[in-house]
């Protein structure tokens, strides 16, 4: 039997976005249909309890450290290039339902790109990582996204643009890079975050948000698939004010 999910992986409320100017949506809570579905405990019968997440970006921007900080709670200063791909599973509980993120860490080096790209397919979320202290890595973010999107359905993938190594930037540098990053994230319809794998700042909040939004998207997609009659049954048990909720998720581009 699996050990219980760690306390800080138990999500009962939708975590806040990092910047309301660059968020996938800014609703204060989970979609009422999703809450109803989980309350009705129909969730475990569904196929949405896992989400594939791919992490892409230039070499040495900090992809592996970001994943290690979250999954292992550790940070290593010594650089070890990722060969091809690696993956980690992280278990959550969202609204009482077991949910896992499958985090695919890819190699940024040109010679491994071909191997890595074969793992891009079927992602529910794409995390494009750049180094907040390297404007070049932000410039390359668009290309990484385009490559990852070639293998995926733009209408069902959630995008995140994550600046790492926040600890290395002065407040002035950070403000300048963030301005550009937020502009890009608006353009590509991604949610923007700035984090540090070294200090851990923002890392847990970020992945909780990824888990929550992918979970929500998976449940909604499943509800849509299972038909409107089923949805009506579930809606009936939600409170009437919440039933008026209209989702305003941005569509994805590229």
Where on the chain is the footprint of Mg ion (CB under 5 A)? 63-64, 82
User: Which member of 42, 165, 189, 209 binds ligand GDP (CB under 6 A)?
Assistant: 165
Instruction: Return the structure tokens found at 249.
Output: 């998720």
Q: How far is the CB of 124 from Mg ion (least distance, A)?
A: 21
Q: Helix, strand, or coil here: 192?
A: strand
Residue 174 lies near ligand GDP (rule: CB under 6 A): no
Residue 65 lies near ligand GDP (rule: CB under 6 A): yes
Tell me the number of residues near ligand GDP by CB under 6 A. 20
Q: Which residues pair with 11 in a beta bridge?
A: 94
Q: Return the H-helix or E-strand segment holding 219.
A: helix 203-226
State which of positions 194-213 bind ligand GDP (CB under 6 A).
196-198
Residue 63 lies near ligand GDP (rule: CB under 6 A): yes
Q: How far is the CB of 137 from ligand GDP (least distance, A)?
A: 9
- Contact mark string toward ligand GDP, 76..115, x via CB under 6 A: xx-x--x-------------------------x-------
Region at 142 (left for phi over 0; alpha for psi -120 to 50; beta for the rest): alpha
82 neighbors 107 (Cβ within 8 angstroms)? yes
Q: How far is the CB of 74 from ligand GDP (least distance, A)?
A: 11
> What gap in Å lies between CA 169 and CA 57, rounded to an integer?
19
> What gap in Å lies between CA 56 and CA 123, rounded to an integer?
12
Instruction: Return the structure tokens found at 7.
Output: 């306390």
CB nearer ligand GDP, residue 87 or residue 245: 87
Residue labelled with tokens 């700035």: 194
Using CA atoms, how far residue 232 sits from 45, 97, 223, 243, in Å, is 18, 21, 10, 10
Residue 164 lies near ligand GDP (rule: CB under 6 A): yes
Q: How far is the CB of 205 from ligand GDP (least distance, A)?
A: 15
Which residues are at the interface with ligand GDP (CB under 6 A)? 57, 59-65, 76-77, 79, 82, 108, 164-165, 167-168, 196-198
């Amino acid at each position: 039997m699996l050990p219980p999910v760690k306390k800080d992986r138990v999500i009962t409320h939708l975590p806040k976005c990092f910047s309301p100017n660059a968020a996938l949506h800014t609703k204060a809570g989970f979609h009422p249909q999703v809450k109803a579905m989980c309350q009705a405990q129909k969730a475990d019968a569904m196929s949405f309890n896992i989400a594939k997440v791919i992490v892409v970006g230039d070499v040495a921007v900090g992809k592996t450290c970001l994943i290690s900080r979250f999954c292992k709670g550790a940070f290593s200063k010594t650089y070890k290039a990722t060969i091809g791909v690696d993956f980690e599973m992280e278990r959550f509980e969202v609204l009482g339902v077991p949910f896992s993120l499958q985090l695919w860490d890819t190699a940024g080096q040109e010679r491994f790109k071909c191997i890595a790209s074969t793992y891009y397919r079927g992602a529910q979320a794409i995390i494009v990582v750049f180094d907040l202290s390297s404007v070049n890595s932000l410039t390359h973010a668009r290309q990484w996204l385009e490559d990852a999107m070639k293998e995926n359905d733009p209408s069902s993938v959630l995008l995140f643009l994550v600046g790492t190594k926040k600890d290395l930037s002065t407040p002035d540098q950070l403000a300048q890079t963030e301005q550009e990053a937020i502009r890009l994230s608006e353009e590509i319809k991604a949610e923007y975050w700035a984090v540090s794998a070294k200090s851990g700042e923002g890392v847990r909040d970020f992945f909780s948000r990824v888990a929550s939004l992918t979970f929500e998207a998976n449940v909604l997609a499943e509800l849509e698939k299972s038909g409107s009659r089923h949805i009506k049954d579930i809606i009936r048990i939600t409170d009437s004010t919440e039933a008026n909720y209209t989702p305003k998720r941005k569509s994805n581009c590229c």
